[in-house]
Each structure stands twice: as structure tokens, then as C-alpha cells.
Amino acid sequence: MKKNVLIIGAGGVAQVVVHKCAQNNDVFGDIHLASRTLSKCENLLATVAEKKAMKQEGVLQAHQVDAMDTAAVVALINKINAEIVINVGSAFVNMTVLDACIETGAAYIDTAIHEDPKKICETPPWYGNYEWKKRDLCAEKGITAILGAGFDPGVVNAFARFAIDEFMDEVTSIDIVDINAGDHGKYFATNFDPEINFREFTGVVYSWQQGAWQTNQMFEIGKVWDMPVVGPSQAYMSGHDEVHSLSANYPQADVRFWMGFGDHYINVFTVLKNLGLLSEQPVMTAEGQEVVPLKVVKAVLPDPSSLAPNYTGKTCIGDLVKGTKDGEEVEVFVYNVADHKEAYNEIGSQGISFTAGVPPVAAAMLVASGEWDAKTMRNVEELDPKPFFTIMDRIGLPTRVQIGGLGGKDQAWNA
């Protein structure tokens, strides 16, 4: 049994994480929130008070910390006696926070792959360049580190594992499809930090097919997926974290990620990219001011958290998994549907933050209970998916299955 949680980060996902931890503080014990800017943490804690989210009386505290500074994170973990760290800060701080967990013995959970701010795209498998280099050390020291435990990566990794274990002898392909059919009513906005959002789509698209890494350009390969609830949706093959671990665990399968984009998003993205406005390299204005264009684009776009009050519609994210069972071809679609308005009503968040923030709390509950306290480094598909689904069913992200693939017999995962 581990207890006392430190949440790193104070953005939209952190808001969901702190609310869900508060709603389950009987499991977690003390809850601490830390980021570079103390006032952001305090603002999030105020929303917890407003929603009366704490299940029982207990500790809920804000802290200032520079998560790029391992020693500072170590000091904080020791001071508050945290045994679980949920890192939902910027993707740039994974390695420093992980190092702090290794040093203190705390369990580590994150929701996205480590990124180097100076690099747009890395050679696959991306985890191999950062987190996995610490795998042996985690095993040796008995440190639990759960990588990529958001929705995608995270829940979709568990969807793949579940589909393969339950329905197949052999897996031949895993297609992860992420559709946001919501409407925020703005001319254009990104659903999370524009700086990170655009970085996902400016590099090479890596997929794992026919036993090797394949490369494509963004928006080169598109396909309409007839999704449950949200209906036919255009999506494009994109690079994404989970491809880099699923391909290592299931090298015999094709592993692809598909992100839904409307024509309008693609048009705005294409204009900005072609003009050079998504560049993280500084330019010089006529007046001699050095400016990073991407940071200006971020400054003019709506703050993702500002979208929440007027966001309507649903997301549908799932895995179409194909394989063989007793020599016959089989396929199954494992998925979740979430609703923007329901997320706002419960937590004051939009649906994208909700889907990303609930799973690491479920993972943390399983670490707390011991079921996922692996004493080593794990990607989510390397852990039993069923207790994960059971908790998520209860705390807001139920898992469903279509037997026979998209449009097949629809049921709860445990029906």
C-alpha cells in the first residue's frame, strides 16, 4: 500500500487529476499539487473547494517547484512524504521528475513521452531515447514507474492488451483512432497547449508496419472511420507515443495511430506551418526583437481551459484490433465515449482534459492498492487491464467493446 500523492503540473489535465484524487482521498491520503507557478496551483485548489470534491477531510496543499530541478523535486517528495507522484506537467520534465522518484523510492506515473524542447521529432522507438534507459535501474531499485498512463497513450494501450488477451491467439494489427467530435464554438483553438499540440504534427509520422518503422508526412494518409456514437469521422495517420511501446510489445502486429481532423483545422495548421509561424526557431523583427513564432501563435490562440464552458459534443477514442482465433480472422473495437459538457459540469474541464486526467488517477489507485505496484518500469499494456477498466467505469470513463469490429455487437467490456 502506497499513499500520499504529489501531482506535478497545473494545467487543464492537472485540474482533472486533482479533482479525481480529491474525490478519492480516502484511498490516497494527503494530496499535494506543485508547479512552477504557485498561484496556478492555488487556483486549481479553489475549484476543488468550489465543487466540494474532497471525499473526506484531509490534506490538500499547493507548492511551488521547478520540475526541471531533480533536487527540488526530491526535497518536496521527502518533505510531504509522497509515495506516489503523478506527473502531468510539461512533457519536458519527465526525466527530472522520474529521477527524483528513483532517488526517493516514490512511484512515478506520467501521461506522455519525454520531449526535448529543442527537438520536434525523434528516432523510434522514442521511449528508448529517454525513459527506457532507466528501466534496469527501476527494476534494480524496485521503483514503480508507469509510463504513458493518460488516455492515449494509456487507456488505448490497455484496450489493445485486453482485445488481444480476450479475443485472439495472435494479433495482426492495432489501429488506434482518436476522434473529438466536440464543438468549442471558436474560430480555431487547440485542446491542449498549442506549443505541444502543434509539435505532434510538424514532424515525421512514424508507424510500425510489416515488422519495421515506416515514415509518412502528416495528412498524407487519411481515412474515414465509422465510429460509435459520433459517426463517420475523417482521421489521419499521425505519430503518437503508444506506437513506440505497442510495437515493442507486439512486433508481429501493424501499429498505427489515427487522429481526427476537420478540413478547417488542417487548413489553419497548413497556413501557419507553411508561413513558418509554427517554428520554434527565433526570427528577428524589423525592429530587432527576437521572437519565437510558435510562442506568438500560442499567445493569440484561446487558452485551452477557456474552451470548457461552451464545449459541447463527445469524444470517441478506441482501438480496432485484428488477429486470429482458432485459425479464424477476428476483430474487435474497444472504446470509450466521453462528453464535454458532463466533464465541465463535474470538474469545470473540457472533455479532452477529462479523458487525459482520469486514467492516471485510476493508475495511481491501482498503485496505491498494490495491484499495479510493479516495482519496475512498465508501459500500460504490460499491466493487467481489467482492474484499470473497473476503476475507470466507476470514476467516469467506461470501456465498451464492439465484437466483430466497428459496427459489431456493442457491449460493456465485462458484459
Q: Going residue by residue from 164 to 203, which x/- string records binding to its own copies, judged by CB under 8 A? A: -----------------------xx---------------
Q: What is the DSSP pairing of strand 409-412 with strand 400-403?
A: antiparallel
In the complex with its own copies, which residue's Cβ is closer, 269 or 311?
Answer: 269
In the complex with its own copies, which residue's Cβ is closer, 83 or 193?
Answer: 193
In the complex with its own copies, which residue's Cβ is closer, 186 or 223?
Answer: 186
In the complex with its own copies, which residue's Cβ is closer, 188 or 219?
Answer: 188
Q: What is the DSSP pairing of strand 254-260 with strand 170-180?
A: parallel
**Gap between the Cα atoms of 47 and 35, Å rounded:** 16
Nearest distance from C-beta of residue 378 to its own copies, angstroms:
33
- Alpha-carbon 29 to chain mean position: 24
**Gap between the Cα atoms of 15 and 304, Å rounded:** 12
**Gap between the Cα atoms of 213 and 243, Å rounded:** 10
Nearest distance from C-beta of residue 313 to its own copies, angstroms:
21
Residue whose C-alpha is closest to residue 91's, from 121, 126, 119, 115: 115
**Gap between the Cα atoms of 219 and 139, Å rounded:** 40
Nearest distance from C-beta of residue 40 to its own copies, angstroms:
12
In the complex with its own copies, which residue's Cβ is closer, 13 or 338?
Answer: 13
Q: Going residue by residue from 255 to 284, which x/- string records binding to its own copies, judged by CB under 8 A? A: ------------xx--xx-xxxx-x---xx
Q: Going residue by residue from 117 to 156, which x/- string records binding to its own copies, judged by CB under 8 A? A: ----------------------------------------
**Gap between the Cα atoms of 379 and 315, Å rounded:** 24
Binders of its own copies in range 49-88 (CB under 8 A): none
Q: Going residue by residue from 283 to 322, which x/- string records binding to its own copies, judged by CB under 8 A? A: xxxxx-x-xxx-xxxxxxx---------------------
In the complex with its own copies, which residue's Cβ is closer, 276 or 309?
Answer: 276
In the complex with its own copies, which residue's Cβ is closer, 74 or 272?
Answer: 272
Cβ proximity of 330 and 323 under 8 Å? yes
In the complex with its own copies, which residue's Cβ is closer, 212 or 299?
Answer: 299
Nearest distance from C-beta of residue 283 to its own copies, angstroms:
4
Rg over alpha carbons for the chain, rounded to the nearest Å, is 20
**Gap between the Cα atoms of 414 and 396, Å rounded:** 16
In the complex with its own copies, which residue's Cβ is closer, 215 or 267?
Answer: 267
Q: For the CA atoms of 84, 86, 91, 95, what is the dihedral angle to 10 degrees? A: 0
Nearest distance from C-beta of residue 193 to its own copies, angstroms:
9
Neighbours of 14 (CB within 10 A): 26
Neighbours of 405 (CB within 10 A): 13
Residue 226, classified by CB atoms within 10 Å of its CB into exposed (0-12), middle (13-18) or buried (19+), is exposed
Nearest distance from C-beta of residue 269 to its own copies, angstroms:
10
Nearest distance from C-beta of residue 37 to its own copies, angstroms:
10
Nearest distance from C-beta of residue 9 to its own copies, angstroms:
14
Nearest distance from C-beta of residue 280 to its own copies, angstroms:
12
Residue 37, classified by CB atoms within 10 Å of its CB into exposed (0-12), middle (13-18) or buried (19+), is exposed
Cβ proximity of 138 and 376 under 8 Å? yes
Under DSSP, the state recorded for 305 is G
Nearest distance from C-beta of residue 306 to its own copies, angstroms:
14
Greatest Cα pair distance, the chain, in angstroms, is 71
In the complex with its own copies, which residue's Cβ is closer, 3 or 36?
Answer: 36
Q: Going residue by residue from 197 to 236, which x/- string records binding to its own copies, judged by CB under 8 A? A: ----------------------------------------
Residue whose C-alpha is closest to residue 141's, from 98, 188, 182, 203: 98
Site size with its own copies, rule: CB under 8 A? 27
Residue 150 exposure: Cα atoms within 13 Å on the Cβ side? 24
Residue whose C-alpha is closest to residue 407's, from 227, 259, 166, 172: 227
Residues that bind its own copies (CB under 8 A): 187-188, 267-268, 271-272, 274-277, 279, 283-287, 289, 291-293, 295-301
